[in-house]
Structure 1
């Protein structure tokens, strides 16, 4: 005869899916256990009875995606004008810089791979990994294959190159500070070159055929390229945001040698251009007169 006793009725499970609970100090995170394919579409798990549960906070990037904000992660060789053009940012690189000034910093030319930029709207002031401290001295940009020009040379500039073998160092630019302007800000007491006012990312050209003698960081000149022209003069390009050539490389008239920027000792983006009789500082000659003597019209 079977022994008398009470049979327990099996309890039905309280949840339709299993939960993993982890935490310390009385607080826990309730996470649904599911396959990787459903991770993004899953609804938050319900709190476990009698247990304090705190939800996972959204990151700034996730919150921006929820609001339909587009973002872009900077890659090696990128510059603001190129990003603005490819991503069709209304307002160009200036708008892109204004919207991301808090993560880029004071110099729009110094962006680094991994930096996350907001496209078409102001970046959240929240602190992110991409807002890394700016190095005390930037390294010379990684040399890459020829990049798309931010501004294309005019037809007249191309004709000059073909007929005379010389061309402007940058197309369609106005002249800012002229040659030999006096001032205490220059160690020689005067401006040793001429400034062409152009935005960061504008294509810079070799004014004539020659050989690159240096390409890299030049102190107050920032990132610079110096070319020994075939006539024996030296052409110097300063404050570049990106280099397209390397030392020892031969170049032809009109070939891109880099992109303009605001590196080194500057107050804004422009090209500082010099013509020297030797590679040394202080051997400068009037660069505008030099170009005009070779049939190049300078505005």
Structure 2
């Protein structure tokens, strides 16, 4: 067996092989034929691992799909958040409208209750006012008592009481009622007779003028005429009678009558 001399028959260096490979590829390119072996020969000299362009395409496609899916998820989440926010806003607005409607209803109910209470109070006050009796003259006093004797009265005694009054003093209805007589009353002069709601009657005599007519409704304190000295009278005053009936002779004590109706005389 022969021996190789030192430095002889040494294999081609990597650089030489690479140069040859490049030259071969160039030659093949000149002839128009680049064989299937050219690429492996060239690639064999590359230190990097072989890469398939198709694999790179698939990898890029997968990344794009993941990104699109992520975007879709983000858009769906945003849409769901917006929808939830819109639903909460609509609910809040509906609740606000409901609260406003309830507040309005309660305010109207309170106003109605207050109005009804006021109306009841007014009716009660009016009822009390209409049921109240007053003195036939303001700031006056009794000058002649009931049943006082003397020749001035045909019956021999006074059938009512006389209130001191200057001519032209306002005469008032003592209580609510209906005028059953208004005009000349003989010895009573110009007189008014009122039937009250409790069935009793009051008479006002010797007036200088009258302010009411028969059938007229009167209320407590309403003016019915002016005091005077007409009829069988010795001077200006008001003759006042209280009766259980409309006719003469049914008289009762006027002071007791007024006091029983809450009037201090």
* TM-score, normalisation: structure 1: 0.45
The CA distance in 1 between the partners of 2:213 and 2:203, in whole Å, is 14
Distance verdict in 2 for CA 1:240–1:297, change over 3 Å: same
Say whether the 8 Å CA contact 1:207–1:253 is kept in structure 2: yes
The CA distance in 2 between the partners of 1:215 and 1:278, in whole Å, is 16
Q: What are structure 1's unaligned runs of at least 5 residues?
A: 1-160
Say whether the 8 Å CA contact 2:146–2:254 is kept in structure 1: yes
Q: How many residues align?
A: 138
Say which of 128, 150, 167 aligns to 1:183.
150
Say which of 201, 214, 221 aligns to 1:254.
221
The CA distance in 1 between the partners of 2:186 and 2:262, in whole Å, is 33
Structure with the bigger percentage of helix: 2
Say which of 199, 203, 221 aligns to 2:170.
203
The CA distance in 2 between the partners of 1:185 and 1:237, in whole Å, is 18
Structure with the bigger percentage of strand: 1
Is 2:208 aligned against 1:241? yes
Is 2:254 aligned against 1:281? no
Give the number of the structure whose alpha-carbon radius of gyration is greater: 2
Give the corresponding residue for 2:180: 213
Matches within 5 A, 1:43-82: none
Say whether the 8 Å CA contact 1:188–1:282 is kept in structure 2: no
* TM-score, normalisation: structure 2: 0.51
* Runs ≥4 residues deviating over 2 A: 161-164
The CA distance in 2 between the partners of 1:184 and 1:250, in whole Å, is 36
- Please provide the CA RMSD for this pair: 1.3
Say whether the 8 Å CA contact 1:235–1:275 is kept in structure 2: yes
Q: What are structure 2's unaligned runs of at least 5 residues?
A: 1-127
Shift of 1:164: 5.5
Say whether the 8 Å CA contact 1:175–1:194 is kept in structure 2: yes
What are the Cα deviations for residues 34-88 of structure 1, in whole angstroms up to 9, with x where unaligned? xxxxxxxxxxxxxxxxxxxxxxxxxxxxxxxxxxxxxxxxxxxxxxxxxxxxxxx
Matches within 5 A, 1:40-189: 162=129, 165-189=132-156
The CA distance in 2 between the partners of 1:213 and 1:171, in whole Å, is 24
Shift of 1:295: 1.1
